Amino acid sequence: MSNFNRVKSAIWYSDQHFPHHDPHCLDVVEQLIQYENPDILINGGDTVDACQVSEKFSIDPMMREWLQDDIDQAAQHLAYYKSLLKRGATAHYLLGNHENRLEKAIENATGPRKEIVRLRVFQEHVTWEKIMADAGVGNWRIYGYGYQDQIQIVPNLITKHGTKLSQHSAYTGAAELRQHGRSGISGHIHRMGLHYKSDAGGNHVWAEGGCCCILQPKYMQATPNWQHGCWVIHYTNDWFNMTPVFIQDGYARYNKEDFYATTAL
């Protein structure tokens, strides 16, 4: 590895699903950002749950929030996390399949609604970039749900929301690694995991990024196999290392330091 003295750091966190976020988990992530002082902050997507525009799942009749309410709450969170970063650090937001519900709802519009969504002004302004800017978040780099494997945020590492889904920890990472053939990190499955592979091309690893949403949502019938957590990535131009930070009941230990949620459990 060259340039060892120029090691930089990034923090990955994902899947908050506002308004179903877990404030204790996010409190610990906030403390880790302040402790690590990263050069890059990556939000792995599904920041907004967007259940109001889902065509697959029914809406809870007791739910009082409008989509705009959830967007405003997520935007406030993103703006605050960006304010924690040092000067020159960059923040990156990878849209997930839940944000993509909006695009699907637009694509599947029928009847008179179809003519509305075809309007040029509608297509130009009803995008997540414009929606978040209107909500006060203009300093995150936002990436569409598709082709995120072609984006390079951290050298030699794919960062994507994720498209694969397997039942057990590290199985999804194995599937993503088989598809792309090189190292990466993804969210989507709300699970922590790490899958390694070595071949003629070298050593590869894929991390499953965990989640920051509540672990027992009302819409689940049994306790899901989900884990709170985030990742600290240290890197140079030709080397990286990913360290998991498992967050349990508002507590994490990283680099021999303890991090406790300050909000009441």
User: pLDDT value at position 91?
Assistant: 98
Radius of gyration, CA atoms only, the chain? 19
Q: What is the mean pLDDT of residues 2-15?
A: 86
Tokens of 153: 């945020």
Of 231, 229, 228, 144, the C-alpha closest to 184 is 231
Q: What pLDDT, in 10s, does the model give residues 103-121?
A: 999 999 999 999 999 999 9
Q: What pLDDT, in 10s, does the model give residues 125-155?
A: 999 999 999 998 989 999 999 999 999 999 9
> In order of start, what are the domains of the chain with their CATH numbers?
9-260 (3.60.21.10)
Label residue 3 by pLDDT band (50, 70, 90): low
- Alpha-carbon span 42 to 33, nearest angstrom: 11
Ramachandran quadrant class, 243 (left: phi over 0; alpha: psi -120 to 50; beta: rest) = beta
Residue 32: pLDDT over 90? yes
User: pLDDT value at position 65?
Assistant: 75
pTM of the model: 0.94
Of 151, 154, 153, 199, the C-alpha closest to 177 is 199
User: pLDDT value at position 70?
Assistant: 95
Ramachandran quadrant class, 200 (left: phi over 0; alpha: psi -120 to 50; beta: rest) = alpha
